[in-house]
Amino acid sequence: MGSLAMEKMFILILVLVPFTSLFSLEANNIGASTSTDDEATALLKWKTSFETENTSLLNSWNLRPKNAKNSSELPQQCTNWFGVSCINGSVHRLNIKNFSVKGTLNNFPFSSLPNLEYFDLSCNNIFGNIPPQIGNLSKLVYLNFSLNLLSQNIPPEVGHLTNLEVLHLRGNQLNGSIHPLLGNLKILSSLSLYDNLLSGPIPPEIGNLSNLVYLRMGLNNIKGSMPPEIGKLKSLQNLGLSKNDLTGSIPISLGNLTKLTSLFLFKNKLSGSIPNELGNLKLVTSMELQRNHLSGSIPASLGNLSRLKNLFLRQNLLSGHLPRKLCQNGALEHLVLNNNMLTGPIPSSLKNCSSLVRARFNDNQFTGNLSEMFGVYPDLHFMDLSYNHFDGKLLGCVLPEFGNLTLMSVLNLSSNRLSGEIPFELGKLVSMLKLDLHGNQLHGEVPKELGLLTKLLYLDLSMNFLTGPLPVNLGDFRELFLLNLSYNNLSQKIPSQIGKLIQLCFLDLSHNSFLGEIPSEFGNLQNLETLDLSHNNLSGLIPKKMAKMPGLLQIDVSFNNLEGPVPEGKAFRSVTIGQLQGNKGLCGNITGLKPCESFVGNHFTKKGHKLIVLIVPPVLGAIMLIYAVYGVIILCDRRKSYRNAKDNNTNVNKDDDLFYTCIIDGKAMYREILAATEEFNARFCIGEGSCGRVYKAELASDNIVAIKVVHRFSETAERKAFSNEVSFLTEIKHRNVAKLFGYCSSAKHSFLVYEYLEREFAYTMKVTEKCDVYSFGVLMLEIIQGNHPGGLIAEIMSSTTGNIELKDLLDPRVLQPTQDVEMILISILKHAIACLNVDPQCRPTMLSISQLLSSGAPFQQDLGE
C-alpha cells in the first residue's frame, strides 16, 4: 500500500512540474513587462519635458502596442529605443549624447531606474541644477553630464554613488565649492570638473581617491593652496589644475606621483621654487608651469626626465642657469622658457637635442656665442632667441646647417648683439613665415636669396647697419604683410617691385639714405595701412596714385626733399605737419604748409626755364613775355580787388585789419560769414554757453562751418586769453581735434571758424562731465599702442574684449613690460576701454578716471587675456 501511494505521488509530481515551470516563466515575463513598462513610461514622461530634441533619434521612444500578445514583444521598448539598453527587462544603460536635447533634469526618473549603471547626457543643452535625487542611482558606474548648461552646486549626494568609476561634469556653469563627500568615491578612476565656475579650496579628502588616474579641475575659480594629500594619488597619470587662482607653493608630495605623465598647473598664482622632487616623475611627458609667480632656479633634477617632451615655464620669475642635462636623451620637443630672468649660456646638451620642434628663449638674460650653443634640428619649426645678450656672427655660426631646416617657419634673433652679414643660406628655409633680425649689429647688403622665401609674411631687418641697395626680387614676397627695414644705411632708389606686395599692411623704410622719387607703384598697395618713408633723401612729387589707396591710414614722409602738392587721399586728410616737415617744397591745404598756388608758378617756371634754355632759346623770350603780361594783369586785378575790399571794409568796421585766417581769404570770408548767418541771427544758433554762442554757417562753396562767437571782452586780460587760445589752436593739429580754419578779433566781433562736426558737442558748448571722456580713451590707447587705434576701436565696438591680448596692444617698438608694469598697463587699458563705451551715460567721469589713475587702483572690469 505504501509503495503504491508513493508511486502515485511521484507520477503526480512529474505531471505538475512542467506546468509549474510554465506558470513561473509566465510570471517572470509579466514581471519583466511590468518593470520595463514602468521605466519606459517614466522616461517618456521626462522626454515630454524637453523644449527641443533630435526627433529623428528619439522617435523610437514609444510604448509597445497595447494588443501585443506574444511575450517576445514585451521588452520591445528596451531593444528598439535608440540610446537605451536593458538587462533582464530593466534599463541598464542610457546614452543620449549629442541628441540636441534642451531641457532639465527635474523630471528625470531617478527613483524609477534602480539598475542604471551607465548615464551619458553630454553635448546637449541641459540646464538648471543637478537634483539631489541623483544619489538614488546607487549602481551607477559611469556618469557624464559634460558640455551642457548645468548650474548651481554639485550636490553632495553624488558622494553616495560609491560604485562610480567615471564622473565627468566639465564644460558647464557649476559653481560653489567642491564637496568633501567626493572623497567617498574610492573606486573613481576619472574625475573631470574642468571649465566651470567652481570656487573655494580643493578639499584634502581628494587624497582618498586612491584609484584616480585622471584628475582635471582647470579653468575654474578654485582658490587656496594645493593640498599635499594630492601626493597620495599613487595611480594618477594626468593632473590638471590650470587656469585657477591657486596660491602658495607646489607641494613636494607631487614627487610621489611616479605614474604621472602630464602635469598642468599653468596660469595660477603659485609661488616659491619648483620642487626638486619633480625630478622623480620619470614617466612625465608634459610639464606646464607657465604664467605663475615661481622663482629660483630650474631644478637640475628636471634634466633626468628622459621622456619629457613638453616643458613650459614661461612668464615666471625664474633665474639662474638651465639644467646641464636638459634634453640629454633627445626627447624634448617643446621648450618654452621666455619672459623670465634666466642667465648664462645655453647648455651643451641642447646642441644635440635634435628632437626640438619649438624653442622659446626670448626675453631673458642669456649670454654667450651662438656659434657654440646650437646644433642641427631637422624638425625645428619655431625658434625665438630675441631680447637676450647673445653675440657671435650669423654667417656660418648660428644654426650652421640652414639647408636642413626646411620646416622652419619662425626665426626670431632680434635684439641681441649678433654681428656679421646676413647669410644667403637663409634663402633655403623655404617654409619660413616670419624672419626677425632687428636690433643687432648686422652689416653688409640684404642678400637677394631672401627673395626665395615666397611664403614669408613678416620680415624685420630694422635697427642694424645694413648698406647698399634693396634687391629687386623682394617683390616676390606676394604674401608679405609687414616689411620693416628702418634705421639702417640702405641707399639708392626704392625698387618699384615693392608695389607688387599686394598683401602688405605695414611698410617702414625710414631712417635710411634712399634716393630718387617715391615709386608710383606704391599706389598698387591697396591693403597698406601704415607707410613710413621719413628721414631719407627722397625727392620729386608724392605720387597722385597714393591718394586712392583705400587702406592707408597713416603716412610719414618727413625730412626728405619732396616737393609739390600733398595728395588729398584718405591718409592725407588727417596728416599733421610733423609728418610732412623737413620737405621745403611741399605745399597744400594743411596748416604749416604754403598754398600750392605760389608753388605751381615757381616750380614750373624754374623747370620750364631750364628746359627751354637748353633746347629752344628763342621760345624762352616769348614765354617770359607772356608771363610778364600775365603778371601785370594779375597785379592790376589784385590792386583793384584791394581797393574794393578797402571800401567795403570801411562800411563794416575800421578795426577789421585785426582779422586773420588760415588757408582762406580773410576779409571776403568775413563778409560771407556775416551774410550766411544774417549777421549772427538767432535762428542759425546751434548752442550757447557761458563764453558765447555757436552758429552753423553754410557758405557759398557748399562748405559748412561752425562759428564760435565769443562775448565781447570786458578786460584786457580776457582779450589776451583769447589770443593765447588762438595761438595754441593754430599750432595743434590732431585727428581727434576739430580743424580750426580761421579766427577774427575786432571791436565788433571775436569769433573762431571751425570745421563743422555733425552731432558732436565740440561747438555746442553744452559741456558736461562726459563730453571729452571718449576722446581721452582714444588718446590713452594711442599712447600705449604707438599709433592711431582706429582698427582696435572698431574691434572693441564690434566684439567682446575677451579675444584681445595685451601683447597685441603694446607699441612693438618698445621693450616688453615686466609683470608689474604689465598689470599697471592692463588697468590703464581697462580705463581706456571703459571710456569708449558706446553709451555716454555708461562711461566713467573724468574725475573718477583721474582718481583711479592717480591712486593706481585696479579697474573692476575684465580685459580678456
Residue with more model confidence, 321 or 786: 321
Within 13 Å of residue 4, how many CA atoms lie on the same side as its CB?
Answer: 1
Q: Is 419 exposed, middle or buried (0-12, 13-18, 19+ CB in 10 A)?
A: middle
Contact 250, 227 (CB under 8 A): no
Q: Is 715 exposed, middle or buried (0-12, 13-18, 19+ CB in 10 A)?
A: exposed
The pLDDT of 456-478, averaged and rounded, is 93
User: What one-character DSSP code corresponds to residue 594?
Assistant: B
User: How far apart are alpha carbons 449 and 123 in whole angstroms?
Assistant: 52
pLDDT value of residue 637: 54
- How are the residues of the chain apportioned to helix, strand and coil, as percentages rounded to the nearest 5? 35, 20, 45
User: How far apart are alpha carbons 560 and 558 in whole angstroms?
Assistant: 6
Q: pTM of the prediction?
A: 0.66
What is the bridge-based pairing of β-strands 238-240 and 214-216?
parallel
pLDDT value of residue 613: 40
Question: 492 is written with which cell numbers?
Answer: 639708392
Question: 64 is written with which cell numbers?
Answer: 509597445
User: How far apart are alpha carbons 738 and 756 in whole angstroms?
Assistant: 8
Residue 194, pLDDT > 90, answer yes
User: How far apart are alpha carbons 712 and 751 in whole angstroms?
Assistant: 10
User: How far apart are alpha carbons 33 and 38 in whole angstroms?
Assistant: 8
Residue with more model confidence, 796 or 638: 796
* Helix or strand (DSSP H, E) at 484: strand 482-484
Residue 113, pLDDT > 90, answer yes
What is the bridge-based pairing of β-strands 660-661 and 740-745?
antiparallel
Backbone angles phi, psi at 280, to 5 degrees: -80, -10
What band does 631 get if pLDDT is binned at 50, 70 and 90?
A: low
Look-up of cell digits 568615491: 185
Contact 388, 364 (CB under 8 A): yes
Mean pLDDT across the chain: 81
pLDDT tens per residue across span 36-68:
678 888 999 999 899 887 777 788 888 765 444
Residue with more model confidence, 188 or 701: 188
Coil, helix or strand for 285? Answer: coil
Within 13 Å of residue 731, how many CA atoms lie on the same side as its CB?
Answer: 6
pLDDT value of residue 611: 42
pLDDT value of residue 853: 73
The pLDDT of 588-595, averaged and rounded, is 85
Question: 667 is written with which cell numbers?
Answer: 576779409
**Most distant pair of Cα atoms in the chain: their distance:** 166
Contact 596, 588 (CB under 8 A): yes
pLDDT value of residue 282: 95
For residues 641-652, b (16+ Cβ closer than 10 Å) or e, as one string?
eeeebeeebeeb
* Helix or strand (DSSP H, E) at 35: helix 2-47
* Helix or strand (DSSP H, E) at 221: strand 221-225
pLDDT tens per residue across span 274-317:
999 999 999 999 999 999 999 999 999 999 999 999 999 999 99
Residue 416, pLDDT > 50, answer yes
Coil, helix or strand for 613? Answer: helix
Cα angle 599-601-605, degrees, rounded to a multiple of 5 = 120
Residue 855, pLDDT > 90, answer no
The pLDDT of 698-720, averaged and rounded, is 70
pLDDT value of residue 664: 43
The lowest-confidence range among 483-497, 537-551, 833-847 is 833-847
Residue 340, pLDDT > 70, answer yes
What is the bridge-based pairing of β-strands 692-698 and 334-336?
unpaired
Question: 574 is written with which cell numbers?
Answer: 588727417
Q: Which residues contact 405 (CB under 8 A, 6 or more apart)?
A: 377, 378, 380, 399, 428, 429
Residue with more model confidence, 709 or 760: 709
Backbone angles phi, psi at 120, to 5 degrees: -120, 110
- Give the amino acid at 864: G
DSSP notation for 795-818: HHHHS-GGG--GGGTS-TTSPPPP
Look-up of cell digits 622658457: 337
pLDDT value of residue 836: 76
Contact 316, 292 (CB under 8 A): yes
pLDDT value of residue 821: 77
Coil, helix or strand for 598? Answer: helix
Residue 838, pLDDT > 90, answer no
* Helix or strand (DSSP H, E) at 215: strand 214-216
The residues facing 103 across adjacent strands are: 126
User: How far apart are alpha carbons 71 and 102 in whole angstroms?
Assistant: 35
The pLDDT of 316-340, averaged and rounded, is 94
